Structure formats: structure tokens, C-alpha cells
């Protein structure tokens, strides 16, 4: 004999239990819910999403963009505004995880997620200005160089955001493989330029591609405006990572560093050679090409040279012309280890 069904006198009337008095547990084969509100920590109370199937969009209220199409709770969760979902593996107050389309990561793991350097074009060690015209493979702003057809661009900065306007050719950055892990990555930016990963197709912001850990990768942009460029692991683009200028500058110095040195002394004779060490502020990617690009003044010096280049530094030497005081002032030294 079938049990009777308990129904209210009218629709949406009555209830079972109340806020101050809960039922201990319940065993139900089929549960149909108009609206579902979870109180407390769902992990702490032991909700297991994979134990339930058959959940459809019509059963979930207040979805962000229409009904959910997934047929399991976990897949339905992944369709929501997932960057707002808290789901810590070890529950604690205030801990929030972000789903990047591949993994759940904490806010701490989000630091350093942008694998590009100088994505905001704030660092400009070589001081390019005006209309920047680059031949193929020539660098402009730190980390960014012209594609195979060269590149012409202008730029302007407002409220600490630099926007590049590419008028001809392409602008690219080579991402060093040591900074990449294998898996899906997404390239995002602000502006009208189209971009691509490696030799893929150009498209609007939100381009996805596959990186191989330890292997260099290229992101490239065509004509249009470009700012706040980010390349990160996962299939979902997150907000642009704003790093302090000093940190961004040091990231750039792994590949290029321009410094000024001076030397002064007294020589007991002509043709004497005197040297001083040069220490890079950041270890270079590889042994750099070191050049002396200029100076303010040289007194009683016949020649200068740079030798013993390593990833850590080099040696700067002068040959003195005659007995007496000698000096070299503000010698500009450029260490280039760019990709």
C-alpha cells in the first residue's frame, strides 16, 4: 500500500523545521527544489557534488546567463561565474578559489600568473619615443620586438596605463620556456588589435592555445590598440595582474640591463691599465652581449674595453694615456640577453 503524500493547504505554504530547530538527517530518493539555499560551509557539512546527477538548468534559480545546460552538479558549478565561487580543499573563513578553466587555484597562486613581462608597456629602458619604427626582430619597449615584417607604433600613457597603437606590421613577445608549464593557456588584452599564440590564427582578446613546459612560445599582435596584455594558464582570462614597477623592471632586466658606471684614479705612468668589476643587478638569462653605448667625459684615457662577460657581470678597463689623474664619467653599459 502506497504512503500518502503530505501537501500544504495552498502552494508555497507551510514548511518543515525552522532556523532554530533542524532535522538531524533525511533520506530521499527524488528531491525537487524551486530554490536552494545552503547555510554554513558546504565542505564542512559534507556535500559531495559527484553523488548527485540529473540536475538541469530549470532546477537552478538565478543563473548568470540563462539556464545551465550541464547534467551534473559539478559541471553546473563550473558554468556559473566561477571566479566568484568559494571551494577550498581545507575550509577556512575568507579562503576563495578561482577556477581558471583547468584547475582550482588560490588567490596566492594567482600572483605571478601573467607569464609575459611588461604587459603594461611601463618599462622602456632604451627610451623609444614618438613614432617607433622597428625592423624585423628589433626591440622597442622592453620585452617587445617587431615581427617578420617589422613594426610601426605610437604610444601614450594615461593614469599609469600605456596604450600601444600598432599602425603597420606586428609586435611580439617571446615567452621564455622556463616560465611555462604544459597545458592550456589564454591570451587576453585591452584594445582593438588582434592577437595569436605561436602560428595560430589572429583573433580578438581571449585566444587560447597549448604551451609545452620548458619550450619558448610567442604571442604576436597585428594593427590596432593594445594595452594590459596577459598570458596565463587556463582557458579563462582573469583581471590583468598589476605588478609594482620595481618588480616589473627587474623581470625585464633578466633580458636587458642598461647601467652607468664611472672610474677615477691616479696613474704612475702612461699605458697603464686599470679595471673595475661590473655587477648586474639581476642574473641574466644567458651570457649577455655587452656594449659601451656612450659616456659623459673621459680624461687622460686612450682606450676602454669590456671583458670577462658572464650572467653575473663583466669587467670594465681603461688604458691611461700618461702619468697623472684619469677619469671616465657615466659610461653607459648595455647588457643584452634578449630572446
pLDDT tens string 85-109 = 444 445 454 555 666 566 665 555 5
pLDDT for 53 equals 46
Q: Examine the pLDDT at 71 and tell me if it is beyond 60.
A: yes
133 vs 127: CA distance, rounded Å: 13
**What tens digit of pLDDT does each residue of 106-122 get?**
555 567 899 999 999 99
pLDDT for 100 equals 59
pLDDT for 226 equals 98
Average pLDDT of span 169-186:
97
333 vs 319: CA distance, rounded Å: 17
Mean pLDDT for the chain? 85
Instruction: Reduce the DSSP state of residue 311 to 3 states and report it.
Output: coil
pLDDT for 84 equals 43
Strands (E), 212-300: 217-221, 224-233, 256-267, 273-279, 289-294, 297-299
Q: Which of 83-97, 165-179, 258-272 has the lowest mean pLDDT?
A: 83-97
Instruction: Reduce the DSSP state of residue 330 to 3 states and report it.
Output: strand
pLDDT band at 51 (very low <50, low <70, confident <90, very high): very low
Average pLDDT of span 135-163:
98
pLDDT for 103 equals 63
Domain extents for the chain?
A: 15-80, 132-253, 256-336
75-114: burial string, b at 16+ Cβ within 10 Å, e else: ebbebbebeeeebeeeeeeeeebbbbbeeebeeeebeebb
Q: Of 106, 121, 188, whose CA–CA distance to 155 is shortest? A: 121
332 vs 339: CA distance, rounded Å: 22
pLDDT for 33 equals 65
pTM score, whole prediction: 0.70
Q: Examine the pLDDT at 204 and tell me if it is beyond 80.
A: yes
Domain at 256-336: CATH code: 2.60.40.2080
Q: Which of 83-97, 150-164, 204-218, 249-263 has the lowest mean pLDDT?
A: 83-97
Average pLDDT of span 169-179:
98
Fold of 132-253: Jelly Rolls (2.60.120)
Average pLDDT of span 53-72:
52
Question: Which has the higher per-residue pLDDT, 10 or 335?
Answer: 335
| Pairing between β-strand 132-134 and β-strand 145-158 as defined by DSSP bridges | antiparallel
Q: Taking the CB of residue 170, how many other CB atoms lie within 10 A of it?
A: 22
**What tens digit of pLDDT does each residue of 23-48 get?**
777 777 776 666 666 555 444 444 44
Amino acid at each position: 500500500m502506497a504512503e500518502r503524500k503530505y501537501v500544504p493547504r495552498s502552494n508555497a505554504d507551510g514548511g518543515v523545521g525552522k532556523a532554530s530547530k533542524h532535522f538531524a538527517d533525511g533520506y530521499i530518493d527524488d528531491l525537487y527544489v524551486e530554490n536552494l539555499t545552503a547555510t554554513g560551509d558546504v565542505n564542512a557539512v559534507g556535500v559531495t557534488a559527484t553523488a548527485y546527477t540529473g540536475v538541469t538548468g530549470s532546477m537552478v534559480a538565478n543563473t548568470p546567463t540563462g539556464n545551465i545546460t550541464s547534467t551534473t552538479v559539478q559541471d553546473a558549478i563550473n558554468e556559473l561565474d566561477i571566479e566568484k565561487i568559494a571551494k577550498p580543499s581545507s575550509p577556512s573563513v575568507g579562503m576563495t578559489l578561482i577556477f581558471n578553466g583547468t584547475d582550482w587555484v588560490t588567490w596566492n597562486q594567482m600572483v605571478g600568473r601573467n607569464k609575459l613581462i611588461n604587459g603594461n608597456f611601463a618599462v622602456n629602458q632604451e627610451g623609444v619615443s614618438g613614432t617607433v619604427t622597428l625592423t624585423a626582430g628589433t626591440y622597442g619597449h622592453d620585452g617587445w620586438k617587431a615581427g617578420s615584417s617589422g613594426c610601426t607604433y605610437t604610444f601614450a600613457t594615461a593614469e599609469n596605463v600605456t596604450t600601444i597603437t600598432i599602425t603597420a606590421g606586428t609586435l611580439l613577445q617571446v615567452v621564455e620556456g622556463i616560465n611555462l608549464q604544459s597545458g592550456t593557456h589564454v591570451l587576453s588584452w585591452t584594445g582593438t588589435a588582434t592577437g595569436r599564440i605561436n602560428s595560430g590564427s589572429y583573433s580578438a582578446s581571449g585566444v587560447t592555445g597549448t604551451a609545452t613546459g620548458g619550450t619558448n612560445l610567442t604571442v604576436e599582435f597585428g594593427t590596432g590598440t593594445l594595452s594590459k596584455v596577459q598570458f596565463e594558464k587556463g582557458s579563462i582570462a582573469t583581471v590583468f595582474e598589476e605588478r609594482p614597477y620595481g618588480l616589473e623592471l627587474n623581470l625585464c632586466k633578466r633580458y636587458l640591463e642598461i647601467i652607468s658606471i664611472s672610474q677615477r684614479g691616479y696613474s704612475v705612468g702612461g699605458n697603464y691599465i686599470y679595471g673595475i668589476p661590473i655587477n648586474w643587478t639581476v642574473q641574466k638569462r644567458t651570457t649577455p652581449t655587452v656594449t659601451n653605448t656612450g659616456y659623459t667625459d673621459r680624461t687622460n684615457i686612450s682606450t676602454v674595453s669590456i671583458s670577462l662577460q658572464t650572467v653575473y657581470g663583466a669587467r670594465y678597463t681603461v688604458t691611461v694615456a700618461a702619468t697623472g689623474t684619469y677619469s671616465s664619467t657615466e659610461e653607459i653599459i648595455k647588457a643584452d640577453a634578449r630572446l
